[in-house]
Structure 1
Amino acid sequence: MSSPTTVERALAAALHADTDDALDTGASLLAADPAPTTYAELALRGEELVAGAWRRGWQPADVVRIVRRELDETHVRLVSALILAEARRQPKGQNRDGRWEAQLAQLEEPGAEAARTDRFSYATAVLELYRLLLRLPAIEPLDAAPDPQGRAHRSQSAASRMLTRIRALLAKAEATGYPEEAEALTAKAQELMARHSIDEALLAARAEDKDAPGACRIGVDPPYETAKAVLLDAVATANRCRAVWNEPLGFSTVVGFAPDLESVELLYTSLLVQGTSAMARAEAAQRAGGRKRTKTFRQSFLAAYAHRIGDRLSAAADSQVASSEGDLLPVLAARDVAVADRLEQMFPRTVTTRLRGVRDAAGWAEGAGAADRAQVEARPRLR
Structure 2
Amino acid sequence: MDRAFEAALYADTDAALDTGASLLAADPAADAEVDRRGREFVASAWRRGWQPADVIRIVRRELDDVHLRLTARLVLDESATGSGQRPTPRWSAQLDDLKALAESPPRTDRFSYATAVLELYRLLLSLPTLEPLDRQPSTSVPRHPESRMLARIRALLAKAEATGFPEEAEALSAKAQELMARHSIDEALVAARAHAKDAPGACRIGVDPPYETAKAVLLDAVARANRCEAVWNEALGFSTVVGFEADLEAVELLHTSLLVQATTAMTKAEAAQRKGGRKRTKSFRQSFLAAYAHRIGDRLAAVAEAQISETRAEHAEGGTAAGASVDELLPVLAARDVAVREQVTRMFPDTVTTRVRGVNDAAGWQQGAEAADRAQVGARPRLPS
Q: Deviations over 1:120-178 (max 9, x none)?
A: 1101111110000000000111034x333253xx536x111111110010000000111
8 A Cα contact 2:73 2:102, kept in partner = no
Of the structure 1 ranges 82-91 and 171-180, higher mean CA displacement relative to structure 2 is found in: 82-91
SS of equivalent residue, structure 2 residue 120: helix
Contact 1:317 1:378 in 2 (8 A): no
Equivalent in 224, 239, 261 of residue 237 of structure 1: 224
Aligned residue number for residue 3 of structure 1: none
Uncovered stretches (5+) of structure 2, i.e. residues with no partner: 313-325
**Residue-by-residue CA offset, 1:264-293 (whole Å, 9 max, x unaligned):** 000000000000000000000001111111
SS in 2 for 1:221: coil
Tell me the residue number matched to 1:107.
98
What SS is found at the alignment partner of 1:254?
Answer: strand
- After TM superposition, list the pairs within 5 Å mapping 1:139-154 onto structure 2: 139-144=130-135, 146-151=136-141, 154=142
- Cα deviation, 1:75-94, whole Å, max 9, x if unaligned, reads 11000100000000007x85
* 1:378, distance to aligned residue in structure 2 (A): 3.3
Give the conservation status (yes or no) of the 8 Å contact 2:70–2:102.
Answer: no
* TM-score, scaled to structure 1: 0.93
Counterpart of 2:99, as a letter, is E
Cα 1:111–1:228, aligned 2, differ >3 Å: closer, same or farther? closer
How do 1:1-383 residues align onto structure 2 when only pairs under 5 Å count? 6=1, 8-35=2-29, 38-90=30-82, 94-108=85-99, 114-144=105-135, 146-151=136-141, 154-155=142-143, 158-325=145-312, 326=326, 327-378=328-379
Kindly state the Cα deviation for residue 112 of structure 1 after the two structures are TM-superposed: 7.1
2-side partners of 1:328 and 1:379: how far apart?
23
Contact 1:320 1:379 in 2 (8 A): no
CA distance in 2: counterparts of 1:117 and 1:227, whole angstroms: 40
Cα distance in 1, alignment partners of residues 252 and 205 from structure 2: 7
Residues 40-74 of structure 1: per-residue CA shift (max 9 Å, x gap): 10011000000000000000000001100111211
User: What code does the residue aligned with 2:301 have?
Assistant: S
CA distance in 2, matches of 1:123, 1:212: 45
Equivalent AA in structure 1 for residue 126 of structure 2? R
Question: Are residues 259 and 49 of structure 1, via their aligned partners in 2, closer, same or farther at CA, if it must alter by over 3 Å?
Answer: same
One-letter amino acid matched to 1:132: L
Comparing 113-122 with 300-309, greater Cα deviation is found at 113-122
Q: CA 1:109–1:90 in structure 2 vs 1: closer, same or farther (change >3 Å)?
A: farther
Gaps of 5+ in 1: 1-5
Superposed CA offset, 1:212-246 (max 9, x none)? 10000000001000000000000000000000000
Whether the aligned pair in 1 keeps the contact of 2:69 and 2:104 (CA below 8 Å) is: no
Answer yes or no: is the 8 Å Cα contact 2:182–2:307 preserved in 1. no
Q: Is the 8 A contact 1:81 1:109 kept in 2?
A: no
Equivalent pair of 1:23/1:124 in contact (CA under 8 Å): yes
How many Å separate the matches in 1 of 2:63 and 2:257?
A: 27
Q: 8 Å contact 1:183–1:374 — kept in the other structure? A: yes
Q: Which amino acid aligns with 2:133?
A: L
Query: 1:172 and 1:380, CA in 2 relative to 1: closer, same or farther beyond 3 A?
Result: closer
Counterpart Cα distance in 2 of 1:312 and 1:123: 52
1:349 alignment partner AA: D
- In structure 2, what is the Cα distance between the partners aligned to 1:13 and 1:169? 54
Partners of 1:150 and 1:178 in 2: CA distance: 44
User: Structure 2: how far apart are the matches of 1:318 and 1:254?
Assistant: 20
The 1:43/1:376 distance shift into structure 2, 3 A limit, reads same
Amino acid at match of 2:11: A
Percent of pairs with identical residues: 73
Deviation at 1:114, TM superposition (A): 2.9
The separation in 1 between residues aligned to 2:103 and 2:360, in whole angstroms, is: 51
Q: Displacement of 1:310 after TM fit?
A: 1.1
- How far, CA to CA, are the matches of 2:86 and 2:230 in structure 1? 24
> RMSD in angstroms over aligned alpha carbons?
1.7
